[in-house]
Amino acid sequence: MRVLVTGAAGFLGQAVVDRLVAHGILDINCFVRGTSDLTGLEEVKRENPRARMQYVTGNLLNKNDIRRALVGVDTVYHLAAGMTGAPASIFSNTVVASKCLLDAIENRPTRVVLVSSLIVYGTSGLNADRLIAENTELDAHPEKRSVYCHAKIWQEQLFREPTKDGLRDLVVIRPGVLYGQGNRNRGVPSRVGITLGNLVLALGRREAPLSHVRNCAEAVVIAGQNKQSSGEAYNVLDDNLPSCSEYLRRYKHDVNNIRVIRMPFPVAMLLARAVSGYHRFTHGQIPAVLNPYDARAVWKGHRFDNRKIKDLGWRQVVPTENGIRDAFADLRSTSEWLHVVGKCQNLPIAEDAPLALSSKSTGDSINVDHRSVASLGVSS
Question: Residue 350 CB, nearest distance to other proteins (Å)?
Answer: 26
Task: Please spell the DSSP secondary structure of 6-58, one letter per residue.
Answer: ETTTSHHHHHHHHHHHHTT--EEEEEE-TT---HHHHHHHHH-TT-EEEEEE-
Neighbouring residues of 110: CB distance < 8 A, sequence distance ≥ 6: 70, 73, 74, 75, 76, 169
Q: Pick between residue 93 and residue 136 the one whose CB is nearest to other proteins.
A: 93
Answer yes or no whether residue 154 interacts with other proteins by CB under 8 A.
yes
Answer yes or no whether residue 363 interacts with other proteins by CB under 8 A.
yes
Q: Pick between residue 180 and residue 292 the one whose CB is nearest to other proteins.
A: 292
Site map for other proteins, 79-108, x if CB under 8 A? Answer: -----xxxxxx-xx--xx--x---------
Question: Residue 248 CB, nearest distance to other proteins (Å)?
Answer: 29
Report whether 126 contacts 305 (CB < 8 A).
no
Answer yes or no whether residue 360 interacts with other proteins by CB under 8 A.
yes
Q: Pick between residue 36 and residue 110 the one whose CB is nearest to other proteins.
A: 36
Phi, psi torsion values for 191, nearest 5 degrees: -80, -5
**Residue list 233-262, contact with other proteins (CB under 8 A):** none
CA–CA distance, 173 with 306 (Å, rounded to integer): 11
Strands 111-115 and 73-78, by their bridges, are parallel
Neighbouring residues of 88: CB distance < 8 A, sequence distance ≥ 6: none
Which of 189, 212, 211 has the alpha carbon at shortest distance from 202? 189
Site map for other proteins, 19-58, x if CB under 8 A? Answer: --------------xxxx--------------------x-
**Residue list 285-304, contact with other proteins (CB under 8 A):** 285
**Residue list 103-142, contact with other proteins (CB under 8 A):** 142
Question: Exposure string (b/e) for 47-59, b if CB count within 10 Å is 16 or more?
Answer: ebeebebebbebb
Q: Pick between residue 263 and residue 366 the one whose CB is nearest to other proteins.
A: 366
Answer yes or no whether residue 182 interacts with other proteins by CB under 8 A.
no
Question: Residue 139 CB, nearest distance to other proteins (Å)?
Answer: 13
Q: Pick between residue 135 and residue 380 the one whose CB is nearest to other proteins.
A: 380
Binding window for other proteins (CB under 8 A); candidates: 216-224, 232-240, 315-323, 360-368: 360-368
Long-range CB pairs of 366-369 (<8 Å, 24+ gap) are 366/340, 368/344
Answer yes or no whether residue 59 interacts with other proteins by CB under 8 A.
yes
Question: Residue 90 CB, nearest distance to other proteins (Å)?
Answer: 9
Cα separation values, 292 from 47, 270, 295, Å: 48, 8, 5
Binding site for other proteins (CB under 8 A): 33-36, 57, 59, 61-62, 84-89, 91-92, 95-96, 99, 142-143, 147, 150-151, 154, 281-285, 360-364, 379
